[in-house]
A and B are shown apart, each in its own frame.
Chain A
Amino acid sequence: SQTIHQWPATLVQPVGSPLSLECTVEGTSNPNLYWYRQAAGRGLQLLFYSVGIGQISSEVPQNLSASRPQDRQFILSSKKLLLSDSGFYLCAWSVLAGEGETQYFGPGTRLLVL
């Protein structure tokens, strides 16, 4: 069965510091991968998605970036964090299965920027 991991689970970082959040998927090949951010009391905002190694699409202009160095690894990064980067970050995966494709989510990373 497929599983998705995210780490760290919780992170407290000072403003201006760098960021690296990691997401890995097991039990599947060539998944589509997604990064979402959930601000307090709000829905999910799609940040990035990737349909293959090295292929990244950005949905929202920001100081965050994403990379996909391996098929089942998706990394969210920042060179300098802002206060507004605080939130809950969710990684999701899906595998094209015709019309039945569905996204499945990881456990998330809670980021607090102080």
Chain B
Amino acid sequence: AQTVTQSQPEMSVQEAETVTLSCTYDTSESDYYLFWYKQPPSRQMILVIRQEAYKQQNATENRFSVNFQKAAKSFSLKISDSQLGDAAMYFCAYRSAWTSGTYKYIFGTGTRLKVLA
């Protein structure tokens, strides 16, 4: 079974600085997707970025980028020019193979990011 591990329960970053959130996963599948979701205080989960495992190029969405190391099974999220609105819980997620008409998502336990003014 696949697992997702986020080893940093909490991180802090100064406004305008860069921070990297770590995520590792375990799987025997070769094709899969990885995601980062943001959960602000409102608690609605918002998709931040996704990465296709068969693509070597790291995904980028504005100030958010990932460092995807497939061999190491590592998927870290880099937030550049941190803003106060980035303060949230961040979840790493793994999308498993198609089974019984759906994909299943396995989530890590999250990293709480604090942004200091």
B109 / chain A contacts, CB cutoff of 8 Å: 41-43
Binds A, one of B44-52, B71-79, B80-88: B44-52
B105 at the interface (CB under 8 A from A): yes
Binds B, one of A17-25, A60-68, A103-111: A103-111
On chain B, the number of residues with a Cβ less than 8 Å from chain A's Cβ atoms is: 25
B35 / chain A contacts, CB cutoff of 8 Å: 102
8 Å CB contact of A107 from B43, B50, B102, B110: B43
8 Å CB contact of B103 from A94, A104, A110: A94
**Cβ A102 vs Cβ B107 within 8 A:** no
Q: Tell whether A103 pairs with B43 under 8 Å between CB atoms, given A43-B91, A43-B110.
A: no
A88 at the interface (CB under 8 A from B): yes
B104 at the interface (CB under 8 A from A): yes
Q: Tell whether A108 pairs with B101 under 8 Å between CB atoms, given A42-B109, A43-B108, A99-B33.
A: no
- B104 nearest in chain A by CB position: A46
The 19 listed contacts between A and B (C-beta, < 8 Å) are A32-B101, A32-B102, A42-B110, A43-B110, A44-B45, A44-B91, A44-B105, A44-B107, A46-B104, A49-B102, A52-B101, A57-B100, A94-B102, A99-B33, A99-B52, A101-B95, A104-B47, A107-B42, A108-B45
Contacts A105-B45, A107-B44 known; list 15 others, CB within 8 Å. Answer: A32-B101, A42-B110, A43-B110, A44-B107, A51-B100, A51-B101, A57-B102, A88-B43, A101-B103, A102-B35, A102-B47, A105-B46, A107-B43, A108-B43, A108-B45
Residues of B near any A CB (own CB < 8 A): 4, 31, 33, 35, 37, 42-47, 50, 52, 91, 95, 100-105, 107-110
